[in-house]
Amino acid sequence: MGSFDYLFKVLVVGDTAVGKTSLLNRYVHDVFGKEYKMTMGGQERFTSMTRLYYKQASACIVMFDLTNPDSFRSCQMWKNDLDSKVTLPNGDLLPCILLANKSDLSPWALTKEQIDKFSKENNFIGWTETSVKENKNINESMRVLIQRMMETRDSGRPSTPPQGEYININDISVPGSGCC
Ligand code: GDP
Ligand code: MG
pLDDT bucket at 176, cuts 50 / 70 / 90: very low
Nearest CA to ligand 1 atom 19: 19
Note whether residue 33 is domain-resident: yes
Q: Is residue 178 part of a domain?
A: no
Complete DSSP assignment for 59-78? EEEEEEETT-HHHHHHHHHH
CB 133 within 8 A of CB 22: yes
Is the residue at 179 inside a domain?
Answer: no
Out of 47-51, 52-56, 130-134, the most confident range is: 130-134
Residue 1 has pLDDT above 80, yes or no: no
pLDDT bracket for residue 22 (50, 70, 90): very high
Report helix, strand or coil for 97: strand
Q: What pLDDT was estimated at residue 45?
A: 65
Tell me if 46 is assigned to some domain. yes
**Within 13 Å, how many C-alpha atoms sit on residue 68's CB side?**
18
Ligand that comes closest to the CA of residue 15: 1
Percent of the chain with pLDDT over 90: 58
Comparing 112-121, 125-134, 163-172, the range with the smallest average pLDDT is: 163-172
96 belongs to a structural domain:
yes
3-state helix, strand, coil in the chain (%, to 5): 35, 15, 50
- CB-CB neighbours of 3 under 10 Å: 4
Contacts of 14 (CB under 8 A, 6+ apart): 20, 61, 62, 63, 64, 71, 74, 75, 78
- Residue 77's domain is classified under what CATH number? 3.40.50.300
Q: Ligand 2 centre and the CA of 52: distance in Å?
A: 19
- Per the structure, the complete domain to which residue 117 belongs is given by 10-171
Q: Kindly indicate the confidence band of residue 65, based on its pLDDT and cuts at 50, 70 and 90.
A: very high
1 lies in a domain?
Answer: no
Q: How many domains does the chain have?
A: 1
Q: Which is the closest atom of ligand 1 to the Cα of 18?
A: 3
> Does 177 reside within a domain?
no
96 vs 48, more confident: 96
Does the residue 21 lie in any domain? yes
- Residue having the nearest C-alpha atom to atom 2 of ligand 1: 17
What would the DSSP string read from start to end of 16-47?
Answer: TTSSHHHHHIIIII----S-SPPPTT---S--
